[in-house]
Chains A and B, each alone.
Chain A
Amino acid sequence: MNEIALPVVFPLLAAVAILVLRRWAPALALAGATLSLAVSLWLMGRVAEGHLETLLLPGLPDMPLRLTAEPLTALLTVVIATVGTFVLIHSVGYMKQESGLPRFYAVMSLFLAAMQALVLAGDWVLLLAAWELIGLCSYLLIGFWFQRSEAANAASRAFLYTRSADLGLYIAVFILIGSAGTSEIAATMNVGGSVAVAAGLLLLLAAMGKSAQVPLQDWLMRAMAGPTPVSALLHSATLVAAGAILLIRVTPLLAPGVLLAIGLVGGFTTVTTGLVALAERDLKRLLAASTASQYGLMLISIGAGAPLAALLHLVAHAAIKSALFLAAGDFQHARGGTGFDRLESVGRIRPWAFAGFTLAALALAGIPPLSGFFSKDAVIAAALSAAGAVWLAPLALAGTLLTGAYLARALRLLWRGAGGTRPVAGAAWMGVGVWGLAIPAAALGLAFGPIEALLDLPAPEAEGAWAVLLGLLAAVSGLALGWLVPARRLLGPANPWAQSGLTVAGGLTAVVGRPAMAVSRGCERLEDRLYAAALRVGRRGLTIARGCERLELSLYAVVLGAGHANLAMGHLVRVGDERRIDGLIFALVASVRAWGDRARTLQSGLIHHSLAISAVVTAVMLLILILASLRF
């Protein structure tokens, strides 16, 4: 069945067409995304009817590329295409005043294609390829304004962070293919034993890089230097989602110890990045920190053995967070920045965008009947019923509380104060984008039942009432705290530290980057020494060669002298008697014979011997020639 490839093919074609034609970029990109959405929906329908499909494509020898349409992958293609389409609609307005649009829309389309390939991938090679390609697209999009030093640095940092963490994915993939003997993902899920533990931990590392989990979260905040639609698409709903998606897909592989590790990483992240978000002075950076925090919640539920809860939260969060970002883009255009000092009272000036923002924020905080309420409930229920509930449940609740707090704080900062506005170009396009995602953000809860029925994933055990109660309590008290108490007071002395991103020991850059640079400089110093040593050897050779040359010159002088002597002797001989001459000639003949004998021993008749000698002689001769030519 070739239709599986279509969600990937349409955006890919759009990207190519944009690069070739260099015009109609927004229209082409939108067409690609819309068609991808249509095919994804159709595919989803077929899968729901029970048609599971696989498409094999030529890849490496004995490792064909494989696209698989199953409930999970089909659902994710729909999510990605939906978010992608609305973000692109929003971009039409947001990017109106920019130059370099073909590049922007081509890379956005390429990103969509790669992301669809990632979720549809049925084998590790394709998954790894798509995984790295979305990293590339992220690099190109964060660095869209490459003349700005901040954006250029942020792009490099994002790629480097995720690439380094990707080493985990590489090695895990090698381990899995090596022990299962095939690159098909499904077939590598039952390797078991220590292999599964090692692979699981390595996959966690890769997921931490992409999903911006502590301590690899720093790149995500800086990535906000890119255009806001990029943040909405990549840094909330798709690229960052890849980490969680990966872990959801490999749940059968994960051993209990690995699960606990995943849960703890997620729990730790949700709390720390929640605190960072609370202290943030920039709306986009707050949303970025919140993204890391929400993915922390998803990791908690994966760790709790309830990937379904994680998936529900992922789907809800995709709509919610992209709506939030798109609204932030609207505010950004109204005020020329995203710092809270600039955004005071912007909510009253841009009511439509603010209404969408508020709706999405309440959904994320977990207020019923909005989608986030149901997904967060599932997460908390999972944490409560997990083996490591003692750890996971308090962390999940704290994360929920913090979510409410930082969102309420953001709402308050956007509402209060005073400030003007400037004309916003393309507001209609942006509005469609915001509301196109805010509505699903609110109403997705309705779809959760069918999704649960469709997917074959372990669901959290019903801890029902407690989870609902605790979750609501955390959400509401978080909202109240955030609205009523300024962040400075909430965080107390920890506020400056949280504002700096809760960095420990100078952050990852210091802990990993500096030693790497030190090794690198060490190599460079060693390199100088090696070069100097080679030169010394060369010079010594040169000295020997010069000695040879001197010998050669003196030999020449000797021969010349001998010649002169000969002439002189000839002169003498001319006056001498015949017997003397004969004697001289005989002596000459005898000496020539002796030399010939000596030469014959050199020509031993063995070809290798003479070859070796001729090679050495040629080498020496060439050497002397070169040295001589160098001196002149």
Chain B
Amino acid sequence: MLPLVSITLFLPLVGAVLILCLPRPTARTVHGIGIGTAVLTLAGALAMWLEGVSSAGFSQVEELEWIPAIGAAYRVGVDGISLPLVLLSAVMFLVAFIFTSSLRERPRAYVVLVLLLETTAIGTFTALDGILFYVFFEVSLVSMYFMIAGWGHEERQRAALMFFLYTLLGSLPLLLAILGLYLGSPELSFDMRAWIANPPLEGAAAMWALIAMLITFAVKIPAVPLHTWLPAAHVQAPTVGSVILAGIMLKFGTYGLVRFALQMTPGAFREAGIVVLIFGVVSALYGAFAALAQTDLKRLVAYTSINHMGYVIVGVSVAALTLDPSVRTVALDGAVLQMFSHGLVTGALFFLVGMIQERAHSREMGEFGGLLKTVPLIGWSFILAAFASLGLPGLAHFPAEFQIFLGTLGSVPAAVVVVLGIAIIAGTFLKAIRETFLGEPRQRWHAMPDLSKRELLAVAPLLVLTVATGVAPSWVLDVIHRTTSSLVL
């Protein structure tokens, strides 16, 4: 039996090392290795997908001794919550490499950074050891920092710094929480499976650990009011940086919220659940309203991310609060699927906005108009992705949000006010489409080229998956459901 998880996890790293070993590789070679590695990684993720997960605990677990003295080991594996995110990562990184293959500005360093980021992303989702998780969680920051600082737009330095400060300082509390869990565990181990099976902390200690985790994850998700780094980082990040940041890295936060906060301190989360829920509702609505006020397309998409991640927080906190297992399952199904869907949809949106920016050197929707006539493929792709993002049935967000809201109403009916967000987001995207793509085409943009083959290859897989997830969500939901329906909290 091949160690699929480890292979998938370290393939990108191997690719990165390979690139570094080559003496003076051409840009073509570098991009070729990047895409090739990503294809293999996707193959690995698909193999993991075919292998599947069992209903109880983790599957495909691989274990190696690491630092036995302190009970830390190399432990990786997946369950129905992490496997979709691994697949999502593999897909997103592949399309990111395809999109970036035209880059001629220091391509070697760039591809190495993205490959490193891919390993850390898959590592974060598959790690079953507290230390290992933390290492992956942290190292991802470095790659992203350098991507923004090295290849971003005008004010990238400040944005990169803000991103780094926020997320680094934000993650120190998680370290404390991990140490707390370690010290509380009976045989002093960093094995996350043990922490989940028997939550080691109780009472005030659990509450402190939870608060520490919540701070970390709230920065990462991000939840209002700790979100200000996100629009700044997105606006300055290169397109692929934005796609990975929104598509994958925000999920570190929501994944942590489920894996750590919900599964390792369930009692404390139930006590504090209502507070978390309020943060979720506020995030979702605030993100929606802030998005409505934007005129910069990239900032607009960034704020809709805050809204969508707010729904995830709502789903997870509802799962923590409710005593009814069926409601918990529905809410968690929705929350996990929402992470998956958001990656696809927001990834596509950032790609498309990036393409417009590359062509027009502007993201102000007021400067456009009638682009649907000039660049129909970009236009229709954007409209499809936008309607997916506003939760249209048949597209990826609908099944997720439907289940989150259904769970919310089943547990804390008042919180269903969050459903207002879908009307506001609808207004946001309708306005953006109206201003950018509809109306009389402007002379200025007549020469704008439509999707190139490279761009089409980058964005089409995401749109196809968006439709597939919307029309037949069961292909993902079955995997998620297997784990969430047998979750014991």
Contacts and interface: CB of A to CB of B under 8 A. Distances in A.
B427 A160 contact: yes
A152 B426 contact: no
A520 B290 CA distance: 5
A534 B422 contact: no
A520 B289 contact: yes
Contacts of B175: 611-612, 615
Interface string A598-629: 00000000011001100110010011001000
B466 to A, nearest CB: 14
B419 A170 contact: yes
B430 interface: yes
A160 B423 CA distance: 7
Given A523-B289, A523-B290, A534-B229, A60 B399 contact: yes
Interface stretch (B101-109, B208-216, B340-348, B400-408): B400-408
Interface stretch (B36-44, B159-167, B195-203, B454-462): B159-167
B162 A146 contact: no
B373 A61 contact: no
Given A147-B370, A538-B161, A163 B422 contact: yes
Contacts of A541: 165
Q: Is the interface of B mostly helix, strand, loop or mixed?
A: helix
B419 A61 contact: no
B448 to A, nearest CB: 16
Contact of B183 (A62, A166, A517, A608): A608
Nearest to A145: B438
Interface size class of A (residues with CB under 8 A): 35 or more
Nearest to B411: A178
A505 interface: no
Contact of A129 (B165, B393, B423, B474): B393
A128 B405 CA distance: 14
A178 B409 contact: yes
Nearest to A513: B427
Nearest to A166: B423
B293 A60 contact: no
Interface string A155-172: 110011001101100110
A520 B293 contact: yes
B172 A129 contact: no
B179 interface: yes
A171 B423 CA distance: 13
A115 interface: no
B362 interface: no
Interface in A47-106: 58-62
B385 interface: no
Nearest to B224: A530
Contact of B293 (A156, A163, A521): A521
Q: Is the interface of A mostly helix, strand, loop or mixed?
A: helix
Nearest to B391: A132
Given A61-B329, A133-B392, A174 B416 contact: yes
A202 to B, nearest CB: 11
B57 interface: no
A434 interface: no
B286 interface: yes
Contacts of A227: none
A128 B393 contact: yes
B52 interface: no
A147 B440 contact: yes
B434 interface: yes
B394 A133 contact: yes
Interface string B370-382: 1011000000000
B292 A520 contact: yes
Contacts of A143: 438
A292 B337 CA distance: 39
B174 to A, nearest CB: 10
Interface string A518-540: 01111110010011011100100
Given A160-B423, A519-B289, A520-B290, 19 more contacts: A60-B399, A60-B474, A60-B477, A130-B393, A132-B392, A133-B393, A149-B440, A164-B426, A178-B409, A524-B294, A527-B290, A531-B231, A534-B228, A538-B162, A538-B165, A607-B70, A615-B172, A623-B165, A626-B161
| CB-CB nearest 3 A-B residue pairs | A129-B393, A152-B438, A524-B293
21 contacts: A58-B472, A61-B333, A125-B402, A132-B392, A132-B393, A133-B394, A136-B387, A152-B438, A163-B390, A164-B426, A167-B419, A167-B423, A170-B405, A171-B416, A174-B410, A517-B293, A527-B228, A527-B231, A531-B231, A541-B165, A630-B161
Interface of B: 70, 157, 161-162, 164-166, 168-169, 172, 175-176, 179, 182-183, 225, 228-229, 231-232, 286, 289-290, 292-294, 326, 329-330, 333, 370, 372-373, 387, 390, 392-394, 398-399, 402-403, 405-406, 408-410, 416, 419-420, 422-424, 426-427, 430-431, 433-434, 437-441, 472-474, 477-478, 481, 485
